[in-house]
Amino acid sequence: MAPDQLLPHKTRLETSYAFSRTFNSRNMEFYWYPLWCQTLFDLVAGVPNLIVAPQFPVWIVKHNDQLEGADDGDDPEEVEEPERTAQEEQGVAGGIQVPGNNVEGEGDHEPEPDSEAGDISFASTVPENNTESVLVDFAVVSLTAMPQSEEKLRYGGWRITAATTCLLVEVKRSASRSLKNDELDAEIKMHIEEARSDLVSQAGLLFLQDKTKDSIMAIAAAGPYWSGTTIHRGDVMRTMDQLSNDDPSYRPPGNRLSDRKLQWNKILRLDGASSVAASEARLRTICKKMREVGNQTTNAK
C-alpha cells in the first residue's frame, strides 16, 4: 500500500498535531505553522515563480541628516547586535516565547490572555543600521528571473530581476479547546482581530519599504480559522504616518491622516465540514490573483 494511503493528507495530520493536548499543551501558535506552511506550499505548487517565504522581514530604514564617517556604512552582516542580558536570552528564542517550567492543572495549559505569545515577532537581526523590522509569519513572493551563464551556476543558474510580495499571512494561536458555541466564536474572532491588526502594521511597513507598491493581499489566521482581504496603500495612511514618526528625516503632511475600515471576508475553517469547499475556492482565487501580479511584473520588465 502506498504511503499516502496509510496516512491522511498532511494538513489533517498537522491540524491534529496542533490540536493535540499532549504535544501542544499550552496552545501555542507555533504548532499551527506547519499547517499554514503546508497549505501555502500546496497552493503555489503549480506556479513555478511563486515561492513561500516563512518569517519574512519587512522594514523601514530611519535616515538621519549626519554625514557618513569613515567608520560608518558597515555591511549588514558586519553589524553586531547589542548584547542581551541573561534574562533576555532566556526569555527570547528566535522571536518565539519559550514556555516556562511551571506546571498548571488540567486543561489546555494555555498562556494568560494578556501574554505576548501571539504578538508580532520582532527581528533579532536587521538588514541595515537604524532599521525598524518586523517578521511576518509567511509571505508569498513572485520572482522574475533570467538564466545565467554556466560559470554562474553556483548561484542557482538564474538572476533574479524582480521580487514582488503578493501575500502576507499572520497566524495566531487557536481558541481554547475547552470553549464551545458563542464563547468559542468570540475567542476565534478576538485572535483573528489580533492578526488583522498586525497585518495593517506589516502592510504599512511594506508600503514604506516599496514606494511603488499600491496593494497587498493578506490572510489573518487563528489556528485553522482564517479571513482575508486586500490592503491598499490608501487604507493605511495613518499607520504609515505613525510608523514614520521616529525617522528624523520624516516630514509629516499638514493634513490629518486616517485609516480606512478594511473589508475582511467571512471567517472560515480550512478543514471545516461546512466550509472546506468555500475555503478551497477562496484560496484558488487568491492564487489566481497572485499569478496576475506575477504576470504584471514580468510584462513591466
Q: Which residues contact 282 (CB under 8 A, 6 or more apart)?
A: 228, 265, 268
Instruction: Note the pLDDT of residue 258.
Output: 92
Residue of higher predicted confidence among 58 and 89: 58
Neighbours of 124 (CB within 10 A): 13
pLDDT-based confidence at residue 157 (cuts at 50, 70, 90): confident
Helix or strand or coil: residue 229?
strand
Helix or strand or coil: residue 125?
coil
pLDDT tens, 24-46? Answer: 999 999 999 999 999 999 999 99
pLDDT-based confidence at residue 63 (cuts at 50, 70, 90): low
* Average pLDDT taken over every residue of the chain: 78
Ramachandran region of residue 94, left (φ > 0), alpha (ψ -120 to 50) or beta?
Answer: left
pLDDT-based confidence at residue 7 (cuts at 50, 70, 90): low
pLDDT tens, 103-142? Answer: 333 445 455 544 443 333 333 333 445 556 789 999 999 9
Cβ distance 136 to 168 under 8 Å?
yes
pLDDT tens, 258-280? Answer: 999 999 999 999 987 778 899 99
Residue of higher predicted confidence among 301 and 149: 149
Instruction: Note the pLDDT of residue 79.
Output: 42
Terminal Cα distance for the chain, rounded: 49
Instruction: Note the pLDDT of residue 6.
Output: 54
CA angle 13, 18, 21 (to 5 degrees): 115
Burial string for 53-82 (b: 16+ CB within 10 Å, else e) reads eeebbbbbbbeeeeeeeeeeeeeeeeeeee
Question: For the chain, what percent of residues have pLDDT higher than 90?
Answer: 55
Average pLDDT over residues 139-151: 88
Q: Would the pLDDT of 64 be above 50?
A: no
Cβ distance 94 to 42 under 8 Å?
no
Cβ distance 138 to 53 under 8 Å?
yes
Q: What is the DSSP code string of 214-228?
A: -EEEEEEEETTEEEE
